[in-house]
Amino acid sequence: MAAAISSGYSIDDLKTLMARLQDYRRPHLGRAVFELAVTAGPFALAWGAMAAALNTGHVWLYVLLIVPAAGFLVRLFLIQHDCGHGSFFPSRHGNDWTGRVISVLSLTAYDHWRRSHAIHHASAGHLDHRGIGDVDTLTVEEYRARSRWGRLVYRLYRNPAVMFGLGPVYLFMLQSRLPIGFMTKGWQPWISTMATNIAIAAAAGLLIWAVGIWTFLLVHIPIVLISATVGVWLFYVQHQFEETHWAGSDTWSFHEAAFHGSSHYDLPGVLRWFTANIGMHHVHHLASRIPYYRLPEVLRDHPKLRDVGRLTLWQSFGCVRLTLWDEQRRRLVSFKDARRHYG
């Protein structure tokens, strides 16, 4: 008999749902070209307008365009994300080369990231396979077993200033320059990261020649920092919420972990557009080959999915305090709650 799940979906229900979702997997070439055009074009225009504004003394225009430009870069990265799943274009070559070109802007080596992200999808919510493509999460028992120094290190890692301040800088600007986690896995991860690094250096050099080094830095660095912070925040909220799902090898199920370990981050329309529907993460993890531009069709045809793991923008801010997985109570808890409950 299938085990009952809190949302009302049994594992058998999820397998049936996953089979039904196969109907949405087919990408549309015309729609993909349109989505790319309305993202890359405005990003290039905003970048150029910011550079021109600085060079002509219109600082107000420069400041006005920083956040929209970062939003378009977030959306470009999420197109790269879909390309990595083979879901954006019908053609594999179209996906791969689009993803590689965007990776120069996102500072994230496409082929290496695609491999690590696949591991994330295959092992999400698995307590015995943590460490690649996820936010480090300790159980209450593991945290209590650590030394005072070990607890301090984990607390610092989980501090919002580190997680959403230093973390994005380290992740996108430093860690992504090397195939971290795959250093001894052959030449392919190295080719991906080093080729991306060379392309980034070439693109930066060309732009510096065109607009000057200080203009380049003042335009591109804020855009990258803001978009990186948004990216880390999205990934965090999509898996670090109170009723997420973690399990050990004896009880872990891909379907249950994919569906119940991912939130439905129900954002306002404008933010949903800039984040390319990635907030519908429970559906994405259950059927990752669905293009992001078809995810709204899934919720339209299966309205019950709207309330599963649903988080509003306001509710999501409360996820920052959730830091430990409580295996007894089957939910994420704060340091304070763990201390109060367990002493």
DSSP string, 187-211: SHHHHHHHHHHHHHHHHHHHHHHHH
Q: Count CB atoms within 10 A of the CB of residue 29.
A: 12
Nearest to 285 by CA among 222, 337, 235, 325: 235
332 φ, ψ (degrees, to nearest 5): -80, 140
pLDDT, average across residues 231-242: 96
The whole-number pLDDT of residue 178 equals 84
State the chain's mean pLDDT as an integer: 93
What are the domain boundaries of the chain? 11-342
Work out the percent of the chain whose per-residue pLDDT is above 70. 98
The whole-number pLDDT of residue 5 equals 41
d(CA 54, CA 62): 6
The answer on pLDDT for 4 being more than 70 is no
**Top-confidence residue, 178 or 287:** 287
Q: What is the DSSP string of 129-164?
A: S-SSSS---EEHHHHHHS-HHHHHHHHHHHSHHIII
Segment among 98-107, 109-118, 182-191 with least mean pLDDT: 182-191
Mind listing the pLDDT tens digit for each residue in 21-64?
999 999 999 999 999 999 999 999 999 999 999 999 999 999 99
Segment among 4-13, 187-196, 240-249, 306-315 with least mean pLDDT: 4-13
pLDDT category of residue 7 using cuts at 50, 70 and 90: low
Nearest to 282 by CA among 297, 295, 300, 273: 295
Cite the DSSP H helix spans in the chain: 11-20, 29-56, 59-84, 92-106, 110-123, 140-145, 148-158, 160-161, 167-169, 188-211, 213-239, 254-260, 269-274, 281-286, 295-301, 313-316, 335-342
Radius of gyration of the chain (CA): 21
The whole-number pLDDT of residue 134 equals 84
d(CA 179, CA 193): 6
The answer on pLDDT for 146 being more than 90 is yes
d(CA 224, CA 216): 12
The H or E element containing residue 264 is strand 264-266
The whole-number pLDDT of residue 143 equals 97
Cite the DSSP H helix spans in 240-334: 254-260, 269-274, 281-286, 295-301, 313-316
pLDDT category of residue 294 using cuts at 50, 70 and 90: very high
pLDDT, average across residues 7-18: 83
pTM for this one? 0.93
pLDDT, average across residues 252-267: 93
